[in-house]
Chain A
Amino acid sequence: MSLLGIMGAQFRRDLALVWKSGAAAPLGFFLGAAALTPLAVRPTTFDELDQLAQIGPQLLWIAAALAALLVLERLFQADLEDGSLDQMTLSAAPLEALVAAKAAALWVGVGLPIALAGAPAALALQAPPAAIPAIATGLAVGMAAFIGAGLVGAAAAASVKRGGVLIALLALPFFAPPFIFGAAAARAAVLGDPFGEAFALLCGIALAAAAIGPVAAAAALRLQAE
Chain B
Amino acid sequence: MITALANPHRFLAFARWAMPAATVAAVLLFAIGLPWGLFYAPAERLQGESVRIIYIHVPAAWWALGVYVFMAGACFVGFVWRHAIADVAAKAAAPIGAVYAGLCLATGSLWAEATWERWWVWDARLTSMLILFLTYLGYLALHAAIEDEERAARIAGVFCMAGLINVPIVHFSVDWWTTQHQGASVFRADGPSIDPSMLWPLLVMALAYAAAFAALLMANMQAEIHRRRVEAAAARRLRAA
Contact = CB atoms under 8 A, between A and B. Distances in A.
Interface in A121-143: none
B173 interface: yes
Contact of B173 (A169, A180, A220): A180
Given A173-B134, A176-B170, A177-B173, A157 B154 contact: no
Interface residues of B, number: 31
Given A170-B142, A174-B166, A212-B165, A180 B131 contact: no
A224 B132 CA distance: 25
A182 to B, nearest CB: 11
A152 interface: yes
B180 A156 contact: no
Interface string B156-184: 10110111011101101110110011000
B134 A169 contact: yes
A226 B151 contact: yes
Given A152-B162, A180-B174, A216-B162, A169 B138 contact: yes
Given A166-B141, A173-B134, A223 B151 contact: yes
A163 B173 contact: no
Interface residues of A, number: 29
By secondary structure, the A interface counts as helix
A118 interface: no
Contacts of A172: 134, 138
Contacts, number: 82
B142 A166 contact: yes
Contact of B131 (A153, A176, A220): A176
A211 to B, nearest CB: 11
A173 B146 contact: no
Contacts of A201: 173, 176
Interface of B: 131-132, 134-135, 137-138, 141-142, 145-146, 151, 154-156, 158-159, 161-163, 165-167, 169-170, 172-174, 176-177, 180-181
Given A181-B173, A212-B165, 10 more contacts: A153-B159, A156-B158, A169-B137, A172-B138, A173-B135, A176-B166, A176-B170, A201-B173, A212-B162, A220-B158
29 contacts: A155-B158, A156-B155, A157-B142, A159-B146, A160-B142, A166-B138, A166-B145, A172-B138, A173-B131, A173-B134, A173-B138, A173-B163, A173-B166, A173-B167, A173-B170, A177-B169, A177-B173, A180-B174, A180-B177, A184-B177, A184-B181, A201-B176, A205-B169, A205-B173, A216-B162, A220-B155, A223-B154, A223-B158, A224-B155
